[in-house]
Amino acid sequence: MIEIINNKEALENLLEALKERGNMDTGEAIFKTKEIVRRVKDEGDEALFEYTKKFDYPFMDASSMRVTETEMKAAFDSLSKELQNAMLLSAKRIEAFHEKQKQNTWIDIKESGEILGQRIMPLEIVGVYVPGGKAAYPSSVFMNVIPAKVAGVSRIVMTTPANKEGALSQEVLAAAYIAGVSEIYKVGGAQAIAALAFGTDTIPKVDKIVGPGNIYVALAKREVFGYVGIDSIAGPSEILIVADESASPTFLAADLLSQAEHDQLASSILITPSKGLAEKVQKEISRFYEQLPRQEILKESLKYYSKIVIAKDLEAACHLANRIAPEHLELAVEAPFEVLTKIKNAGAIFLGHYTPEPVGDYMAGPNHVLPTNGTARFFSPLGVDDFVKKSSILSFTKEALLPLGESIVKFAKSENLYAHALSVQVRLDEEAK
């Protein structure tokens, strides 16, 4: 079911497979995506409606494309009281966490007359893409929308594909209502990304697009980057657990399966110095597998991208974890805060035996939109900073500029930028008269 590996060759094969796993086989998809993006850019609603009718809802028109606030409220009201309360609690905790990320504009005024600072302003309008069908996750609505609201974004436009009957997930609509989405349009795929990037008569042009999607959505985000900002190109989900003998095999097996059930490319890896623990976890995974419904997906992800690795010790386990740089990292060890000091690369780090990854997906508060496929080496989780722009502020009086003038002139001339030097030199010359 899931292989235990205990040799260097098998480990290197695993690392190579993980590296290749996130590389999209775009094939013909890139040509189809380019055509869709081009047509929506040039033809606007005409192309947008054509593709929406073709791929999603065959009876779409301008009058039925936008979801009303009444529909969002009705979706929220249709949920059970228990689910309403769970979603409200989740939203509250996510908002509280992201409030702590906010930065303020600052100004530093010096006696010389020099003023330096940084102005922080929210983006004006943001587009949020939400997948449809079985991949519609209300928790992802919260994670993409709430940081934008905390940042101060005044207009949030959401697109999500309707089914063949023109219906949307009631949970997704309810989440949008709770989070404060400004407007929702029933469009999906590359055509939705293009509409958000370039604007049509129906859908407004946005400054940035966030949210996951299928290969066409991912490729479309690549195509429009530069016209608008994007968050990142999300890869398959992954979890890595570093565990010692203090960990429960039952807990570990359940946690590994929690990511393996996402899709066939999902990766679940356990690294432990204990061969005995590894074998117990292997048995528990087999036991749980027989009880779970998504067996076809689990079978593939557990076979190809999921492994139990025997490490020399916790130090070696952490070294390997840093090489992999996982999206989710659990430290299921006796002294998790001590082991934390050895971790350099991870999207989110879950400490201790009672902090399973789904806590982060739904209720803890930190964002679950995380860097995948090793990009945690240089990317960070989605957050408030993704929805603001920063401008530097500079103000010099004559008295502040003069002491720096000659140095600026020398520096500019060293780069053969003589007009740069002249810009400062004329001010120095004026003062010398």
Integer Cα distance of 277 and 243 in angstroms? 9
Q: Is 237 annotated as a binding residue?
A: yes
Among residues 171, 327, 330, 357, the one annotated as catalytic is 327
**Is 327 one of the annotated active-site residues of the chain?**
yes
Rounded to whole angstroms, how far apart are CA atoms 73 and 95? 20
Q: Is 259 annotated as a binding residue?
A: yes
- Between the two ends of the chain, the Cα-to-Cα distance in Å is 85
Please state whether 212 falls in left (phi above 0), alpha (psi between -120 and 50) or beta.
beta
Does the annotation place 420 within a ligand binding site? yes
Q: Judge whether 386 is annotated as a binding position.
A: no
Find the length of the chain: 433
- What six digits make up the tokens of 21? 């796993």
356-369 in b/e form (b: 16+ CB < 10 A) is bbbebbbebbbbbb
Q: Is residue 191 marked as binding?
A: yes
Please indicate if the annotation marks 264 as binding a ligand: no
Residue 262 annotated in ligand binding: yes
* Catalytic residue selected from 98, 223, 238, 328: 328
What is the Cα–Cα distance from 281 to 256, expressed in whole angstroms? Answer: 9
Given strand 307-310, what is the order of strands in its sheet?
3-5, 307-310, 267-272, 238-243, 328-332, 348-351
* Phi and psi angles of residue 158, each rounded to the nearest 5 degrees, phi first: -110, 135
On whether 185 is known to bind a ligand per the annotation, the reply is no
Point out the annotated binding site: 129, 191, 214, 237, 259, 262, 328, 361, 415, 420
Point out the annotated binding site for NAD(+): 129, 191, 214
Point out the annotated binding site for substrate: 237, 259, 262, 328, 361, 415, 420
Q: Which residues are catalytic?
A: 327-328
Point out the annotated binding site for Zn(2+): 259, 262, 361, 420
